[in-house]
């Protein structure tokens, strides 16, 4: 479904992605893990068309997208939930969600999508008239994921959805992502929460200093001695 081929990306003189290759197959959950500044967010931003790549190719459903503007990439069904939630603080929950269905492809199904989001996140339905800024961190993360789902993704890319959340909320977010995946949405997940992300993933990639250093099935990576020592402290 999504194929990244030997992608390079630099900010000025600083090379942040170096010959990165990865694949995401339809209906998979794939995790991209690594420490801060490993290049994970840059990879998502490159796929979304937010930053230009300096080499390589990005293909979606067999077609190159690395030269497309980000709004066309969204219309193709690639949706990113950014790190830090970035909700609209002075809009209500419902207004925030409706902003997610702004693109042409999603607009005609916005009512249906809104009901699905409310089913997944009953808290959002209960607080639909509440301002985004008044929500807790966990509720804001639910809102950010819900807004992404309103865009009608074929593939949903999430950047650190568990960041700063209490363990019980993290568990709930990961449970919802599994349910979203069961509803035939493919997921590419960037996470520092290695165990939780690999537990739900079909496959994973480990990124270090802009390079893929390990890849494999999620369960296999959890058993990898290097990964256990470097990321799990075992």
Dump pLDDT digits (tens) for 37-83. Answer: 889 999 999 999 999 999 999 999 999 999 999 999 999 999 999 88
CATH classification of the domain holding 61: 3.40.50.300
Query: In what side-by-side order are the strands of the sheet with 55-60?
Result: 14-24, 2-11, 55-60, 63-64
Pairwise CA distance, residues 157 & 87, whole Å? 16
Looking only at the bridges linking them, the beta strands covering 155-159 and 186-191 are parallel
Dump pLDDT digits (tens) for 188-199. Answer: 999 888 889 999
Pairwise CA distance, residues 65 & 89, whole Å? 32
Do 46 and 161 belong together in one domain? yes
- Predicted TM-score (pTM) of the model is 0.92
Range of the domain at 233: 1-77+157-166+188-234
Q: At what angle do helices 93-100 and 137-150 cross, to 10 degrees?
A: 30
The answer as to whether 50 is a domain residue is: yes
Do 107 and 212 belong together in one domain? no
The answer as to whether 88 is a domain residue is: yes
Pairwise CA distance, residues 194 & 162, whole Å? 11
Give the helix/strand (H/E) hosting 205: strand 203-208
């Amino acid at each position: 479904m999504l194929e990244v081929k030997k992608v390079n990306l630099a900010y000025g003189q600083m090379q942040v992605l170096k010959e990165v290759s990865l694949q995401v197959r339809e209906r998979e959950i794939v995790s991209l893990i690594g420490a801060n500044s490993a290049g994970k967010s840059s990879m998502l931003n490159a796929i979304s068309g937010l930053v230009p790549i300096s080499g390589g190719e990005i293909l979606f459903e067999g077609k190159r997208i690395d030269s497309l503007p980000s709004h066309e990439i969204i219309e193709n069904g690639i949706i990113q939930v950014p790190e830090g939630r970035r909700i609209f603080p002075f809009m209500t929950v419902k207004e925030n969600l409706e902003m997610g269905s702004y693109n042409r492809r999603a607009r005609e199904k916005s009512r249906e999508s809104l009901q699905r989001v409310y089913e997944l996140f009953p808290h959002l339905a209960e607080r639909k008239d509440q301002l985004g800024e008044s929500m807790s961190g966990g509720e804001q993360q639910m809102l950010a994921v819900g807004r992404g789902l309103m865009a009608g993704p074929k593939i949903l890319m999430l950047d650190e959805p568990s960041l700063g959340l209490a363990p019980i909320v993290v568990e709930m977010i990961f449970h919802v992502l599994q349910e979203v995946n069961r509803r035939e949405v493919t997921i590419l997940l960037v996470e520092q929460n290695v165990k939780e992300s690999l537990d739900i993933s079909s496959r994973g990639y480990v990124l270090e200093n802009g390079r893929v250093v390990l890849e494999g099935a999620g369960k296999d990576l959890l058993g990898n001695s290097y990964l256990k020592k470097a990321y799990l402290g075992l």
